[in-house]
């Protein structure tokens, strides 16, 4: 099903050129034939990472709440909210204490990945090591713990990469992603209910798998691409520094 949806999306993208403008008899296209584009100067500037002044008009006010369901890992809170237009609506929100994940990079340029069965999807997935935060736990300490438990690696150096909201449409879960290097192997100790296989995959091969749609796990997609971007920036910086000497 995922492959069919991806093929449909690619077909739609290929048709965009036909839909976006009108073909004339000789095959040439002019601005007169092109579909109108919005006046970009009339649109507010996008502020990445910060809340823009005009975002205040988008806020929803919580006027009532209750815990609709309590689970082992997360709860579901039902919120009654007042919308920007004054109407009310109901939001069901998954409350999760968050997690940490690790892009573990070896000196040979390979990333440690775990293969595990995900009951929610009904199949084995390929993921970077990750785990839930204990109550009040520092995400960095969680990342170190999960790396050791799931892969057996201990990082001589670990740095923050990014944080993602996994499903912000209905959940507040955040996953904090770290880059671990200078790895030493001390032996894995997975939890009693964890059954994992560990693979070492070249960064480029993992990125290709992500871009080919073969990796579905969100934290792994983001972690792989973030690692690739960081590697390129470091390489560019090294070249620039060498050129300046």
Backbone angles phi, psi at 24, to 5 degrees: -95, 170
Answer whether residue 148 is part of any domain: yes
- Do residues 79 and 191 both lie within one domain? no
What whole-number percentage of the chain has pLDDT above 90?
Answer: 66
User: Considering its fold, how many domains does the chain have in total?
Assistant: 2
206 lies in some domain? yes
- The secondary structure element, H or E, covering residue 92 is strand 88-95
Question: Cα angle at 87 between 82 and 93, to 5 degrees?
Answer: 45
20-47 pLDDT tens trace: 333 333 444 444 444 555 554 555 555 6
What is the reported pTM? 0.77
Q: Output the pLDDT for position 47.
A: 60
Residues 90 and 166 in one domain: no
* 98-150: pLDDT as tens digits: 999 999 999 999 999 999 999 999 999 999 999 999 999 999 999 999 999 99
Structural domain includes residue 20:
no
Range(s) of the domain holding residue 143: 99-240
Q: Mark whether 105 and 206 lie in a shared domain.
A: yes
* The pairing of beta strand 99-104 with beta strand 174-185: parallel
Q: Which position has the token pair 């095959």?
A: 27
Which stretches of 73-198 are DSSP H helices? 139-151
């Amino acid at each position: 099903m995922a492959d069919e949806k991806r093929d449909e999306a690619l077909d739609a993208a290929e048709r965009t050129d036909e839909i976006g403008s009108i073909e004339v008899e000789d095959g040439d296209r002019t601005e007169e034939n092109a579909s109108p584009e919005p006046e970009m100067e009339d649109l507010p500037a996008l502020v990445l990472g910060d809340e823009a002044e005009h975002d205040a008009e988008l806020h929803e006010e919580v006027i009532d709440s209750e815990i609709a369901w309590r689970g082992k890992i997360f709860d579901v809170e039902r919120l009654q909210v007042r919308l920007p237009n004054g109407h009310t609506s109901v939001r069901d929100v998954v409350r999760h204490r968050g997690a940490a994940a690790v892009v573990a990079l070896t000196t040979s340029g390979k990333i440690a990945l775990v293969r595990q069965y995900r009951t929610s999807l009904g199949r084995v997935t390929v993921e970077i090591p990750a785990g839930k935060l204990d109550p009040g736990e520092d995400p960095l300490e969680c990342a170190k713990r999960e790396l050791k438990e799931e892969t057996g690696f201990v990082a001589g150096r670990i740095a923050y990469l990014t944080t993602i909201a996994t499903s912000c449409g209905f959940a507040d879960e955040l996953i904090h992603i770290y880059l671990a290097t200078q790895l030493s192997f001390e032996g894995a100790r997975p939890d009693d209910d964890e059954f994992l296989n560990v693979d070492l995959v070249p960064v480029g091969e993992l990125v290709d798998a992500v871009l080919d749609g073969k990796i579905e796990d969100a934290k792994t997609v983001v972690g792989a691409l973030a690692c690739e971007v960081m590697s390129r920036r470091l390489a560019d910086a090294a070249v620039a520094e060498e050129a300046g000497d």
